[in-house]
Amino acid sequence: MHALTELESAFRSLSGDREFEKELDGILKDYVGRESPLYFAERLTEHYKRPNGEGPHIYLKREDLNHTGAHKINNAVAQALLAKRLGKKRIIAETGAGQHGVATATVCARFGLECVIYMGAQDMERQSLNVFRMRLLGAEVRAVHSGTATLKDATSEAIRDWVTNVESTHYILGSVAGPHPYPMMVREFHAVIGKETRKQALEKWGGKPDVLVACVGGGSNAMGLFHEFVDDDDVRLIGVEAAGFGLDSGKHAATLTKGEVGVLHGAMSYLLQDEDGQIVEPHSISAGLDYPGVGPEHSFLKDLGRAEYYSITDEEALEAFKRLSQLEGIIPALETSHALAYLEKLCPTLPNGTKVVLNCSGRGDKDVQTAIKYLKVE
């Protein structure tokens, strides 16, 4: 609790700090490459037109164009600056897909901070390219063999390290999960996604989006897009989880669809758990959605009825991965592909001209190895 209380007061003291905001904005602009485009996906839109020529208009918020290829860097940069303000010289982080690990290693190189990344041994195998990237960037990657050797175990290890070394160390948690103030803090650092989207929508069609769609693992890219629009009741918020081999297969990561309320990593939220309250191992073809919990704020939005959550199987996600690549020349991350796949179900139900903004949360270079095993590309 001491570590969390200290972090919360540091965050509160910075929230009105002009200097901090100016420095952060400068780095987001010149280093990360913000703002990211709101791109009209013309051929994808065409693809979902009905025989009578009607259909929704689909826009992609191009977080995949950020430095390091995903939204993760927004939060990593901001927390590294926060750590500097706190006088912490050592940074730790957990990672599943390796994207948050790469983003953290990147900002540590940029700010000259010592960096240790905890990663499940199983994920290290699946994402060996990202492991090399992190090491190339100067980070130490520590394999976690306990439990399921995936993201939840890496998170537990990182929390243990932080509590032991809190005087010298800042823990950059990579999603809107974990103990307060992390869900709030990570949301605030990603809120730039939604803020830009509002401004860009106004410029492009003089209004707001009608529907926002994003994939949900822990849920930071979705929260970053949704947060700006939570009070706009006329904007639908749709989160898409991983149904893995199918919701009834027992091998999925659809926490909000199939989970029950429980406590994990210091937050009460929906969880995949058995009768005894033990964590059930999730499955998704995408390492970044393979988390047995979900951010507490997503659970709140679900219970409130403010956001809707659906799920997509591995197979549907792979189809969407291929579809966007071939229709738009954009290879999406497998995480993002889950959101893209949901368009198949969503678009036929939408009135003509509905403005859909889908958060293209990451690029798919990291997933090509995985896709090779499953996809026949002729």
What whole-number distance in Å separates Cα of residue 76 and Cα of residue 129?
Answer: 20
217-251 burial, b at 16+ Cβ within 10 Å, e below that, comes to bbbbbbbbbbbbbbeeeebbbbbbbbbbeeeeeeb
Element housing 244 (H / E): strand 236-244
pLDDT at 129: 85
What whole-number distance in Å separates Cα of residue 238 and Cα of residue 121?
Answer: 32
pLDDT at 360: 98
User: With left for phi above 0 and alpha for psi between -120 and 50, is residue 90 left, alpha or beta?
Assistant: beta
From 35, 36, 61, 72, the catalytic residue: 72
pLDDT at 266: 93
Q: Residue 220's closest CA among 145, 288, 284?
A: 288
Task: Order across the sheet with 355-359: list the strands.
Answer: 38-40, 57-61, 355-359, 211-215, 236-244, 307-313
Instruction: Please state the pTM of the whole predicted model.
Output: 0.96
Asked if 209 and 201 touch (Cβ cutoff 8 Å), the reply is yes
Q: Residue 278's closest CA among 95, 122, 152, 123?
A: 152
pLDDT at 378: 67
Identify any residues that bridge with 61 across adjacent strands, giving them in sequence order.
38, 359
How many residues in the chain? 378
Asked if 121 and 143 touch (Cβ cutoff 8 Å), the reply is yes
pLDDT cut 70: percent of the chain above it? 100
From 299, 311, 337, 361, the catalytic residue: 361
Q: What is the full per-residue pLDDT of the chain (378 aa) written as tens digits?
A: 989 999 999 999 998 899 999 999 999 999 999 999 999 999 999 999 999 999 999 999 999 999 999 999 999 999 999 999 999 999 999 998 788 999 999 999 999 999 999 999 988 987 888 899 999 999 999 999 998 888 889 999 999 999 999 999 999 999 999 999 999 999 999 999 999 999 999 999 999 999 999 999 999 999 999 999 999 999 999 999 999 999 999 999 999 999 999 999 999 999 999 999 999 989 999 888 888 899 999 999 999 999 999 999 999 999 999 999 999 999 999 999 999 999 999 999 999 999 999 999 999 998 898 899 998 776
Rg of the chain on CA atoms, in Å: 19
Q: Is 175 tagged catalytic?
A: no
State the residue for tokens 């738009």.
328
Q: Is 94 tagged catalytic?
A: yes
Q: Is 72 tagged catalytic?
A: yes
From 63, 94, 188, 228, the catalytic residue: 94
pLDDT at 125: 86
Domains and CATH numbers, the chain: 1-32+72-182 (3.40.50.1100), 38-68+191-374 (3.40.50.1100)
What whole-number distance in Å separates Cα of residue 294 and Cα of residue 317?
Answer: 20
